[in-house]
Amino acid sequence: MKRRGFLATSLGGAFGAGLAAAAEEVKAADGPLFRTPVSLMAPRTDGITVVWAVNALCRGWVEWKGEGSDGKADMTPAGFVPQTDEVFQVEVNGLKAGGEYEVKAVVIGVDGEKKEESGWRKFRTIDPQAASTRFLVWNDTHEHDETIRKLDEVSPKADFFLWNGDTCNDWKDEAKLIPTLLHPGGRDITAGRPMILNWGNHDGRGKFAYKVPSCVGLADGRPFSAFRSGPVAAIFLHTGEDKPDDHPTFKGRVAYDKLRKEQAEWLKEVIERPEMKDAPYRVVFCHIPLRWIEEPETVDYAGTGFDRYSRRSRDLWHDTLAKWKTQVVISGHTHNAQWIPANGSFPYGQLVGGGPQEERARWIVGEADASSLRLTVTDLAGAVTHKVEFKPV
């Protein structure tokens, strides 16, 4: 197998006491070097991003094996072995689509005396040619650890797992970033289901929100992406905030209008890709719904008003999504699970998941083969609350 260049980055500056430690001699941690489990993120047809946090300054790398080959991802674009005292993000590329692989992370403390290895983690790369696929969706967990633990217990393995926004309430406390995103509820939530993070509006709130990209793997370094998994073409979009960019609560920190426009132009190209254009099933994932059961003409943003659906996104994306023959948009945000069928004005249905409290929480499974795409919404008690089926386009 050809081994392409590998990328490893640590982004976003120091976390917590890291700033103070930078001014002093850096020493190895007295305890374990690994702070979190190894997470598998941003699954792709040719690779995956391996992410984990450490407790002290380390150098590290990722070893991989599978499909009759093996290798090591151990170099940054600047020619260094990956090094950080925060979060490692190591991209493993050049793999076969639909291949079965294993990865493990290795770290060595700055003094070279302590070495630790994670266990081997199995995964399969995304396979556009597969006869069937399964995906899993959570949304709006908002740091409710018990809800996360119960979701993890009942959720199945999947070809990909989408955390569809609002992992947190806000990022005012920098110390919450790593445990919330890389060890939520004390669980290893990416085991058996490589994860994609779809930004929610709360994920962009707080003065430390800009550091979220340092904790999660992103396909092509962007918070939006697309691929085909078996018969399902999937597009993942960032709907931004539920208020205008100039709302005083954001203090000038967000530029979501520009991001939505960037995605609008990108969408026009994505839907013309052969694997997306010919897919039997077409699914869009975004945190804030593009439709809702009530759509008022005006919202009192100066008071307590906010958008239950993203009109700003829909105005930019609707025509392209209709042209693509989008069948369903899967969202969160409202904490109110709903199914809104397609109609004459909107050729795509809108499926919305639940909320953070255990009684409101929902998990969504999509299963597709040659006969149909089936979406099942289930609560934590095991009751199916919504079930929708689509035939090939």
Three-state DSSP string of 59-91: EEEEEEEECCEEEEECCCCCCCCCEECCEEEEE
Element (H, E) at 123: strand 121-124
d(CA 271, CA 291): 21
Q: Do the beta carbons of residue 161 and residue 194 sit within 8 Å? A: yes
- The upper half-sphere exposure of residue 83, i.e. CA atoms within 13 Å in the direction of its Cβ, equals 11
Give residue 113's pLDDT.
Answer: 85
The phi, psi pair for 175, rounded to 5°, reads: -65, -15
Q: Are 140 and 353 in contact (CB under 8 A)?
A: yes
Which residues of the chain carry a pLDDT beneath 70?
1-29
**pLDDT value of residue 29:** 56
Residue 326, CA distances (Å) to 64, 282, 286, 290, 351 in order: 36, 5, 13, 12, 13
Residue 112's pLDDT is what?
A: 84
Give the three-class secondary structure for 155.
coil
Tokens 């009751």 — which residue? 383
Count of other CB atoms within 10 angstroms of residue 162? 22
pLDDT score recorded for residue 243: 98
pTM for the structure as a whole: 0.92
Q: Residue type for 250, please?
A: F
Pairing of strands 69-73, 115-117: unpaired
Instruction: From 258, 260, 240, 237, select the one nearest 250 (Cα to Cα).
Output: 240
- For 147-171, write each residue's pLDDT tens digit: 999 999 999 999 999 999 999 999 9
